[in-house]
Amino acid sequence: MRRFVVLFSAVLALACSSAAQARVVVQIDKSAQRMTVSVDGAQLYAWPVSTGAGGHGTPSGTFHPQIMMRSYFSKKYYGAPMPHSIFFYYGFAIHGTNQISRLGGPASHGCVRLHPGNAATLFALVQRAGAANTDIIISGW
């Protein structure tokens, strides 16, 4: 029995350490209004997004998560809900939205909006991998 416990503990530690070492790449194409999410080079998800519209551009470049907040309300935009926020550059974040019908076209003040379920999935994935193992690459326009 003791051998089983030791073996089980070793397998569990290995599983936890390999999950923490997973490389997550979030690619956002502003021209296509699309996000793809890959883990260790394998694409797992492709989702429609809404990026900045009308003079409220979403920054381009390569970023890493800075702050993650499961429940957040915008102080700048009248308390707008921003569930599962992953802040990546100053006040810019990837987050869920209740304006689902606008996904697939520019609609935000610069953030990257996702369906709330997709935002929760991404949040959990990035939380497991860690900020240092997550790249957010934004391109287009």
Domain locations in the chain as residue ranges: 23-139
Please return the burial class of 58, using the count of CB atoms within 10 Å of its CB with bins 0-12, 13-18 and 19+. buried
Structure confidence by residue, pLDDT tens digits, 85-115: 999 999 999 999 999 999 999 999 999 999 9
Structure confidence by residue, pLDDT tens digits, 22-59: 999 999 999 999 999 999 999 999 999 999 998 889 99
- CA 26 vs CA 6, 110, 126: distances in Å: 37, 17, 10
Average model confidence (pLDDT) for the chain? 87
Name the strands in the sheet holding 112-114, side by side, starting at the edge strand that comes first in the sequence. Answer: 67-69, 85-89, 92-96, 112-114
Question: Which of the four pLDDT bands, split at 50, 70 and 90, describes residue 9?
Answer: very low
**Superfamily the domain 23-139 falls into:** L,D-transpeptidase catalytic domain-like (2.40.440.10)
